Amino acid sequence: MGIETTLLLAVAKKLLTKWKNQLPADDHSLLPSEVGLMGGIENLALRNEDLLSTLEGAQSATTAVLDAVTQKIKGFQSQIDVLRNDEILGTKSLDQLLTLFGCNHKPEAKSPQPEEFRNKDPKGRQTNELWFLYHIESTPDFVGASDCIRDAWYSWKEFISLNVWELNDDNKEKANVIIRTKYIDGGGPILGQAHVGPPNGYVLELEMDKGHSWTKTRFEGAVCHEIGHLLGLDHTPGDGHLMSEYIKEGIVSPSQVDINNALALGHYIPALRPTPEPEPPGPYPGESEAARRRREIQARYLS
Ligand SMILES: [Zn+2]
């Protein structure tokens, strides 16, 4: 599919004409070029499936199409503190839009509920603590990508009591979180997605865009953001938070607001943890002593 270039151009022309009529002549220089605006509209559509399908299905730049685009401009501006909510994608709004990234968070992607994901205390009673056994299936092609993933878990563990272990290839079938790369939007603004995956909802999938040209901090921040969704968090309103809908380069750990939202979901501050840190699970059937030791060392590093 994809959006027809002729449609994008028609939408950009009509919006620019409308905005020029709204703005005093002195301010017309604050509007982007037709080509610039086409890029901005496409960027918005890549972040919003409903807008994308509207534009892909449209025959011409009707009022309904223009309204759909305007709605998304409004939604974007309302999330960014420094922008005026004038529903005009001027150069300032466009610059912001193009430097911020997004994720494909679906509201139905909630944290795992089954008992298998919950820690038991020493007496075998269920607690509210989540228990993540993650396996890294693939990473983007840069040195240190796996360490970024470990650091991202650690950023949450500093503030929220979590049980996290990394499973290597020997034990990957025990994992309840699979982390992998996947082509998501062809290098567009979407960095990743997290969801409760098939076949039975017991395995969480955290997928990072394979087509993206990653930097280390952008990758670590995006993984940390997606882990926030695995904890059950939705997007934090406004910008500058790890869990903001529009992700800023360089933010690699949760803000106080993000942490408060996680605590409100029933997660604990590590110091107030009601039960002792559990032992790593296993040994797994067929696991060698060397593999078991390696896993213990990893667990110590991560906890
Ligand atoms: Zn998100």
pLDDT at 288 over 70: no
Q: How far is the CA of 209 from the centre of ligand 1 (A)?
A: 13
Q: How far is the CA of 249 from the centre of ligand 1 (A)?
A: 14
Q: How far is the CA of 224 from the centre of ligand 1 (A)?
A: 10
Q: How confident is the model at residue 104 (pLDDT cuts 50, 70, 90)?
A: confident
Q: How far is the CA of 243 from the centre of ligand 1 (A)?
A: 6
CA distances from 30 to 11, 39, 127, 258, 302 (A): 18, 16, 55, 34, 49
pLDDT at 35 over 70: yes
- Report the mean per-residue pLDDT for the chain: 86
Q: How far is the CA of 247 from the centre of ligand 1 (A)?
A: 8
pLDDT at 57 over 90: yes
List, as one string, the DSSP characters of 199-225.
TTS-EEEEEEETTS---HHHHHHHHHH
Q: How confident is the model at residue 130 (pLDDT cuts 50, 70, 90)?
A: confident
Q: How far is the CA of 275 from the centre of ligand 1 (A)?
A: 30
Q: How far is the CA of 106 from the centre of ligand 1 (A)?
A: 8
More confident residue, 200 or 174: 174
Q: How far is the CA of 21 from the centre of ligand 1 (A)?
A: 36
Residues 6+ away with beta carbon under 8 Å from 266: 128
pLDDT at 61 over 60: yes
Q: How far is the CA of 283 from the centre of ligand 1 (A)?
A: 35
